[in-house]
Amino acid sequence: METLPRGDAGTWLEIGAGHGEMTELLATQGRRVVAVEADAKLAEVLRARAKDWRNVEIVAGDILRLDFKKIFPGKIRVYGNLPYYITSPILHHLFEYADEIFSIHIVVQLEVAARIVAPPGRREYGYLSVLCQFYARPEIALRLPPGAFRPPPRVNSALVQMTLPGNRASLAIENVKEFLRFVQICFSQKRKTLRNNLRGIAPDKHIRERLAACGIHPEARAEQLAGTEFGALFQAFQP
């Protein structure tokens, strides 16, 4: 299993470049690197350091406002040490450009990593699991203790590797935003059944019929369904 692919000349997007340790590693391997840093002062320091790296571009700004199509001519790989409190918004933004991304490698809180890779039936399995597995095939590549960072955080971390595409490639879903909104509704109250959570969008009789048509038990909970089952159930609810 490769952690950070080597030997290609592909373009890397680095999120949260900081002082440039990973930027330098990627740059010295002959790749084009676009390093994004939200802290303007850090970005200036990094620009000065990167003067000798001809294949590196430093962007000072918010990754959530970055339009990938204006910067990258082809498919990219992504690396990021993500701020834990905005991991989900960043992943949503990245997945908006899923067709332009070959792989994603992110360092996140271990608890979040467990949710990303969790299979159906696990306590950690939820909307984030379905989202990430819809777009990619995620796995925990490396577990990182607090001592691996300076200063050390108060939590354990993990490097999650995602190769695109995921379940999306085999599901004929035209309106992805509506599908993901539907999945969110299914998980809106995890301890309740799908029937309870879906009553806001359809009568109970209609819900029972659609569950039966998809071979899903009437008392099933969202945490028991695989991504393909969510896809089938979503399609069953379409007019």
Mean per-residue pLDDT for 61-75? 87
Q: Which pLDDT band, with edges at 50, 70 and 90, does 2 fall under?
A: very low
What single string gives the DSSP state of each residue in the chain? Answer: --SS--S---EEEEE--TTSHHHHHHHTTT-EEEEEES-HHHHHHHHHHGGG-TTEEEEES-GGG--HHHH-SS-EEEEEE--GGGHHHHHHHHHTTGGGEEEEEEEEEHHHHHHHHPPTTSTT-SHHHHHHHHH-EEEEEEEE-GGGSSS--SS-EEEEEEES--GGGGS--S-HHHHHHHHHHHTSSTTS-HHHHHTTTS-HHHHHHHHHHTT--TT--GGG--HHHHHHHHHHT--
pLDDT (0 to 100) of residue 150: 80
Mean per-residue pLDDT for 144-161? 90
Q: Which pLDDT band, with edges at 50, 70 and 90, does 1 fall under?
A: very low
Q: Which domains does the chain have, with CATH numbers?
A: 11-168 (3.40.50.150), 176-236 (1.10.8.100)
For 98-132, write each residue's pLDDT tens digit: 999 999 999 999 999 999 999 999 999 999 999 99
pLDDT (0 to 100) of residue 56: 94
Residue 9 in this model has a pLDDT that exceeds 70: no
For 12-55, write each residue's pLDDT tens digit: 999 999 989 899 988 888 788 999 999 999 999 999 998 888 89
Across all residues in the chain, what is the average pLDDT?
91
Q: Which pLDDT band, with edges at 50, 70 and 90, does 70 fall under?
A: confident
Q: Which pLDDT band, with edges at 50, 70 and 90, does 69 fall under?
A: confident
Q: Are 113 and 207 in contact (CB under 8 A)?
A: no
pLDDT (0 to 100) of residue 129: 98
Residue 7 in this model has a pLDDT that exceeds 50: no
pLDDT (0 to 100) of residue 4: 44
Residue 5 in this model has a pLDDT that exceeds 80: no
For 174-195, write each residue's pLDDT tens digit: 999 999 999 999 999 988 999 9
